[in-house]
Amino acid sequence: MAQFTDLLSTAFLLLVLYHAIKYIYRISPLHPLVRFPGPRLAAMSNLYGGWFDLSWRRSYVKELAGMHERYGPIVRAWPNQLHVRDLDAYNQIFRVGTEFIKSPHFYTNPVLTHSFFNITSTRAATARRAMMMPFFSRDAVRRAEKTLLNPIIDKFVDILAVQHANISDDGSRVVDMTMATRCFAADSVMNFEYQKPLGVLDAPGFQAAFIHAMDGFSATQQWPIYFPKTFGAIFRAIEMLPRWMVERFMQPFALTQWVQRVCFERIAALQEGEAGLEKGEAGLEKGKGAPTVFDIALNPKMEKGHPRLTREELAADAFLFMVAGTDTTADALTAAVFNTLYNPEIHARLRDELRTLRPKCDSSGWAELERLPYLHGIVKESLRLSYGVPGRLPRVVPDAGAVFCGQKIPPGTQVSCSIFVYHHNESAWQDSFMFKPERWIVSENHNAEAVAELEKRFLSFSRGSRSCPGMNLAYANLHLLLARLFRRFDMELFETGKEEMEWKDSFVPMTRGHLRVKIREAED
């Protein structure tokens, strides 16, 4: 027994000594990043950032903006990772054909194993992306507008008019717009991908179990970033447990597994021929219907270098596209509705602009709506302030090294650029936290060159060969739905202020409360 106790004591002391040496090395002159400024604790341990990200209300990305004001454009915000706030550096890292690969230490989330998102190699990701991009092109989205997008929008606004709401004292309806927009986005994305919506819009009060499952998934997403090996081991162990046990005692994991099963079943259905459409890219080229993105993936053009994906890879991409498409579109819609209603002048100006269209905007298309300058400004500003993914998406400096802001960056260094930090750089965005649609409109005091400069700094969809493939789908849905909402309904905020809309970085923004809106049919 004494020997065992001595062995444990020795092991403990060795562990303490190992970590002490590691922390001392990270802040010593021997470390290659020691010359870059930043908080000393951040240089010593990743848990400095974890202190913020793993708490209930704080987010490390919100601290990074202040660090840049204090330390300059390059900050050592983690022991082996630099955070960079410089547009030229961003464009160098994320350009098409970049040699900066994704960090294999960061993209390890077991839920996204086999997905496009977790591929670190730029070449492999480019081949997989090239196969699917024809489906997400602007022309493809416009062709799908009447058959795939508008039916979901029609259903959504009709439900808002007659169902799923509490009646307030003045006779208007109170809607949980946070859940409503998430249900809309999920059904729209799945209808676009599979030509078969999930049906979550039919949930009473928009309280769909599927959406709560996605929220449960999102709420856990900082943990695998800081504890990738531990989280991976836990996830693999949970996958081996009986389903009833997971559903009873580990609901977030159970809900995540449920979402994955839905995606897997949809892929299996397509492989068994239930899509009923002409397959592959040929359907797009011939204009025969609208094949799903997974019809294209199931029938790759090998002569173009398209990879043949396994069912697991297809299901992982289906899960990724659904989660990413739902979160980003719904977050932007929520930001648009809240900020428009919170600012009466913006609301009035938008309503005046929409009155120039045909009644209720029912027949107005995306191409027509995006030419409305104020509506388009609201869409852009909503995307800017909903961020997509607000935090870091680190890349690795190639073997040749790099030069940012006149400083040499050692090969193998992880570098990251957070959209939140770039979108709140006051030297580029005056009054960056204010919702100002007019900043996107050419006027006497704001010329076309100024707007073009903002476009260069607009990063909500990232940039280059790893940018968001669903950008055109998001733009179309935002223009179409916002026009219909604000033309058909009179809306006002209900017990919702800026405090409820404060968000935490859970890889995607998660607001402290929900957006609740009183809604009734417009009289004009």
**Distances, alpha carbon 375 to alpha carbons 71, 246, 331, 436, in Å:** 38, 45, 17, 12
Residue 190: CB atoms within 10 Å: 25
Contact 152, 185 (CB under 8 A): no
Dist CA 93 CA 81 (whole Å) = 14
List of residues 6+ apart from 343 with CB closer than 8 A: 435
In order along its 524 residues, the chain shows pLDDT tens digits of 667 676 777 777 878 888 788 889 899 999 999 999 999 999 999 999 999 999 878 899 999 999 999 999 999 999 999 999 999 999 999 998 889 999 888 888 777 777 888 888 888 888 888 888 888 889 999 999 999 999 999 999 999 988 545 566 666 688 999 999 999 999 999 899 888 888 899 999 999 888 887 787 778 788 888 888 888 888 888 878 888 888 777 776 777 777 777 777 777 776 666 444 344 444 444 444 456 777 777 777 777 777 887 777 877 888 888 888 898 999 999 999 999 999 999 999 999 999 988 665 566 799 999 999 999 999 999 999 999 999 999 999 999 999 999 999 999 999 999 999 999 999 999 999 999 999 999 987 788 899 999 999 999 999 887 888 889 999 999 999 999 999 999 999 999 999 999 999 988 899 999 999 999 888 77
- Cα separation, 288 vs 277, in Å, equals 8
User: How many CB atoms lie under 10 A from the CB of residue 424?
Assistant: 21
What residues does 446 pair with on adjacent strands? 443
Q: Which two tokens stand for residue 267?
A: 């892929």
Which residue's structure tokens are 């209300």?
57
Tell me whether strands 503-506 and 414-416 are parallel, antiparallel or unpaired.
unpaired
Question: Exposed, middle or buried by CB within 10 Å (0-12, 13-18, 19+), for 333?
Answer: buried
- The C-alpha angle with vertex 49 and arms to 317 and 252, in degrees rounded to 5, equals 45
pLDDT computed for residue 291 by the predictor: 64
Q: Whole-angstrom Cα distance, residue 44 to residue 23?
A: 5
> In this structure, which amino acid lies at residue 13?
L
Residue 491's closest CA among 456, 470, 467, 515?
A: 515
- The helix/strand/coil state of 396 is strand
Residue 437 carries which DSSP code? Answer: G
CA–CA dist 43, 170 (Å, integer): 57
> pTM of this prediction?
0.89
Q: Report whether 405 belongs to an annotated binding site.
A: no
Q: Are 48 and 41 in contact (CB under 8 A)?
A: yes
Q: For residue 250, give both structure tokens.
A: 């580990």
Determine contact, residues 415/495, Cβ cutoff 8 Å. Answer: no
Of the candidates 362, 344, 367, 370, the residue with the CA atom closest to the CA atom of residue 487: 362
- Cβ pair 354, 23 in contact under 8 A: no
Count other C-beta atoms under 10 Å from residue 268's C-beta. Answer: 13
Count of CA atoms in the C-beta half-sphere (13 A) of 329: 31
Backbone angles phi, psi at 502, to 5 degrees: -60, 140
b/e 462-497 (16+ beta carbons within 10 angstroms → b): bbbbbebbbbbbbbbbbbbbbbbbbbbbebbbbebe
- Whether the Cβ atoms of residue 416 and residue 406 lie closer than 8 Å to each other: no
Tell me which residue has tokens 């001392």.
24
Q: Please give the full DSSP string across 303-346, using - where no structure is assigned.
A: GGTPPPPPHHHHHHHHHHHHHHHHHHHHHHHHHHHHHHHH-HHH
> How big is the chain by its Cα radius of gyration, in Å?
24
Tokens of 70: 């204090």
pLDDT score recorded for residue 4: 65
Rounded CA-CA distance 266/298 in Å is 13
Q: Which of 292, 244, 296, 357 is nearest to 129 (CA)?
A: 296
The predicted pLDDT at position 360 comes to: 58
**Residue 508: both structure tokens together:** 């995607």
- CA 515, 521, 522: angle at the middle one, nearest 5? 105
CA dist 163 → 151, 158, 477 (Å): 17, 8, 22
- 253: tokens are 């994991």
Contacts of 266 by beta carbon, 8 Å cutoff, 6+ apart: 190, 194, 196, 294, 318
